[in-house]
Chains A and B, each alone.
Chain A
C-alpha cells in the first residue's frame, strides 16, 4: 500500500511538474510564467508533504533526504527554467524562420515563375511564396540577436520592395542602438542612389529647361523615389507633389505622349487625390482613354477605392488588348464577377453569407498547399502584419494643461 501511495504521489508530482514546463513553454510573455512558477511550487509542496505524511520513524534517512532536497531544489531550478524556456523558444523560432527560408530557397523558388514587382498585396492576394521571404525576416527582426537583425536588414534592403523597406524603417526605433544604426545605413545607402539620379536629371533639366521629355523623366524619378519606401510619409508626399508639378509642366511645354498625364495622375493618386487624377486622365483625347497605361492607372484608383469590380473590368480590358497584367490585377481578374444587387425578399437573418471561393490559376501563383507540401511544414497560422501599438516617445505636454502638468510629466 505504501509503495502504491508513493508511486501515485511520484506520478502526481511528475504531472504537476510537466504541467509547469508546458506552461513555461507556451508562455508568450513574462506574465504568463506565473502559472508555471505556481505549478513548480505546487510540485515542491507535494514533495515536501509526502515526507510529512509518513509516520515518524518509518522513513529511512535516504528517503527523508531525497524528499527534503527535492522540496528545496524544485523551486530553485524551476524559475530559471521557466525563464530560459521562452527565450530558447524565441531563438528556436528564429532558427525555424531561417530553416523555412532555406528550404524555400532550395525547393520552391526554382519552380516559381518570376512575377512583376508590385506595391499591392491585397488581402486576397496573399502570395505566400513572396510573403515567406519577408515573414522569415519579420521573425528575425522580432526575436533575433543583433547580428541576425543586421543581416536581415541588409537582405531586406537588397530585396528593395517598399514592403520590405517598411520593415527596415521600423527598425529605426529598435531598442538596440546598433540595430537602429544598421537600419539607418541601409536606408541611407538606398537613398543615395535615388538622390544621385535626381541630381543628374535636375542638372539636365536646368540645361534644357524647355525639353518636355527631360521634365517627364524627372517627374518619373521623383515619383519612383516617393514610392520606393526609402522616404518617410512626409517626404514621400513632397516628392509626389514635385513629380506632379514636373509632369504638368512637361505637358504645358508640349509633351505629346501619355507620359506626363500618366505620371501626374499616378502622383495625384499617391497623394490621395483620386478625383484630380481622374480629371488629369480625362484631359486625354478620347482615343487614348483605353491605352494600357491609362487603364492601369484607372485600375489602381478603383483598387484603392475598394471598387474591385471596376478594377476587374479594367483588367479584362487590358487582357483583351493582350497586355501583361501585374499579379495583383491578374488575381482580381480571376475573381468571379460580383452578382449585381437586385430587389429580393428580405433574407432570413440567420442565413449565412457565402464568400465566393478564391481559386488562383495554378501557373500564376504557388498555393499554400503546394508550399506546405514542398517544405513539409505548416506556414505559421498566427502571423500578424498589423502594426504594434505606437509607443509614445515624448511626454504628454498637452497644450491645455496648466504649468503643473510640466511637473507631472513622466518620460515614456
Chain B
C-alpha cells in the first residue's frame, strides 16, 4: 500500500523526544484520514537503543531507518563505466565547492543506474579513479593543510552522502522533510527520482545550527587553537564542513516545491541560505486550546500563591541554560527569600548536566528554593505557577511560551528564536493585543532577575500580560489551524499526484 505522505526525518521522531518530535506526532495523530511512512536518518544501526519513544498512530504504516555510517568498503566487482560515474562524482564535488547545484541530479543517476549496488562505496572512495579526484581537490583547495586530515574529512563527508542517496526510497504521494541537512538531501533525491512533490518544514535552521556547532567545537582540527591571534576566517576544516551543510541546505531548497517555517525570523535565514522567497510560507505552531482552556479556568479560580512561584518547563539540558536560571534565582532570592522555583521537565537527556545544575543550586545556597521535579503533567502543574522563565540560548518556537500563555501566565524569555515575536506580536493586529511577557538577553542572570522581580512587584502587570498572551494564543496559535493548514497542503499535493496517475 503506497502511503500518502513519506516523512523524511533526521534525529527526531519517533526515536527522540522533543519539540519537533511532538509536532510530528501531533500532526500524524490528527490527520487519521492520511497515511504516513516515516523514513528516519540515523547515524548507525542500533544507535537508538531504546527504540521508538512514541507510540505511533495506526495511520503511520511504515517506519524505515537509513544509516549514515553503515557502509561496506569491500570491492564488489568493477561496474561498467566506472570512470564515467566517478566523473559525475567529480562534478558533484566541484559543485559543492563552488556553490553550484547542477550536478546533483546526474550524480543521483550514476548511483541508481544498473540497479542499486551498481556503484559501491568502494568505487567511490577506494579506486584509482576516485583517488585522482581526491588528490585533485586537495591540490586545488587544501594544499597547505594536512593531507591525512583532508583524506579523512573527505571520507566522512562523502560516504554518508553515498549511503543516503543509494537508498531505495519508498513510493509516496508526497515527500515531507522537517529539516534540510541529510534528511533534506534524501528528500531532494526522492523528488528527482520519483517526480513526486517534496515540501520542507523548518523548525530551526539546520545549516545555521551546524555552523554554530562546528565553530564552537574543539574536535575539528584547528591548528591555531591556543594562539591569541584574531583570525580573519575560520580554520579550513571547519569551513569545509560548514560549506557541505550549506550546500545540502541549498540543494533541499532548490528541489522543494514549498517551504514552510514556524515564524517570520526564520524566513530571513532561509532566503539568505538560498531559498526562493516565493516558495516560503509561515505556518506557526499551535496548541490544544481545549485542554489548556481547562487549565486556564483552574488558574483564574486560584487565589494568590503563598510563595511566589517561578516555573521552568522543559528538558534539563545545556541548550536551556538552567545555570543562568539558577544564577538569576539567586539574585531574586536576595529580595524574595522564600521564592519557589519549580524545574519541571525530564532530566535523563543529559544526566551530567542535570547533576551540574543541582550542584550549582547547592553552591548558590538555593536548595530550599529550587526543586527539580522531573517529568510532570504540564496541564496540571502550570496553573500553580506565577510566571514562566525560559533562559534557553537557542529556540525555534517554544511551545512552553504558548502553553503558558494559554493558561494566562506571563513569560520571561531570552531573546532567541521566535520568543520576541511570540511575546510581543508579529504584526500590527497581533501587537495590538499587548505584551505577554518580558524579553532579556541570553546568559544575563542580573537582567533575568530584574525582569522576574518586576513581575513579582506588580501583580497587575503580571495579570495584564497573562491576559494579553492568552488572547494572542487563542487568536493566532490554535493547534486546529496548524493541523488544518497541513491538511490542506497534504491534500492538495496528494490529489495532484493522484490526478497524474
Contacts and interface: CB of A to CB of B under 8 A. Distances in A.
Interface of A: 98, 101, 105, 136-137, 140, 147-148, 150-152, 155, 158-159, 172-173, 177-178, 180-185, 187-188, 195, 198-199, 202, 231-235, 238, 393-395, 397, 399, 403, 406-407, 409-411
6 contacts: A101-B230, A150-B234, A232-B447, A397-B461, A406-B464, A409-B431
B230 A151 contact: yes
Given A172-B441, A407-B432, A184 B393 contact: yes
Contacts of A98: 230, 232
Given A101-B230, A235-B331, A182 B446 contact: no
**Closest A-B pairs by Cβ, 4 of them:** A234-B446, A411-B424, A406-B434, A151-B231
B212 interface: yes
Interface in B204-233: 208, 211-212, 215-216, 228-233
B327 interface: yes
A100 to B, nearest CB: 11
A235 B211 contact: no
Contacts of A140: 230
A235 B327 contact: yes
Given A397-B461, A410-B431, A147 B234 contact: yes
A178 B207 CA distance: 12
Interface in B338-366: 359-360, 363-364
B230 A235 contact: no
Contacts of B435: 394-395, 397, 406, 409, 411
Nearest to B432: A407
B330 interface: yes
Contact of B232 (A148, A178, A234, A394): A148
A159 B226 CA distance: 10
Nearest to B394: A181
Given A397-B435, A403-B464, A232 B445 contact: yes
Interface in B223-268: 228-234
Given A158-B228, A178-B208, A394 B434 contact: no
A137 B468 CA distance: 43
Nearest to A185: B216
Contacts of A397: 435, 461, 464-465
Interface residues of B, number: 53
Interface of B: 208, 211-212, 215-216, 228-234, 321, 327, 330-331, 334, 359-360, 363-364, 393-394, 415-416, 420, 423-425, 431-435, 438-447, 449, 451, 457-458, 460-461, 464-465, 468
A399 to B, nearest CB: 5
A389 to B, nearest CB: 16
B226 to A, nearest CB: 8
B232 A147 contact: yes
Contacts of B433: 407
A104 B307 CA distance: 58
Contacts of B211: 178
Q: Which of A101, A173, A181 has the most CB of B within 10 A?
A: A181
Nearest to B461: A397
B461 A152 contact: no
B444 A172 contact: yes
B425 A411 contact: yes
A234 B445 contact: yes
A159 B215 contact: no
Contact of B441 (A152, A195, A393, A409): A393
A411 B431 contact: yes
B441 A173 contact: yes
Contact of A238 (B321, B331, B424, B434): B331
Given A234-B449, A393-B439, A411-B435, A181 B232 contact: no
B230 A202 contact: no
A147 B327 CA distance: 30
A393 B440 contact: yes
A43 to B, nearest CB: 35
Interface centre among A151, A233, A407 (most CB of B within 10 A): A151
Contact of B434 (A151, A393, A409): A409
A395 B35 CA distance: 46
A199 B230 contact: no
B443 A172 contact: yes
A177 B228 CA distance: 24
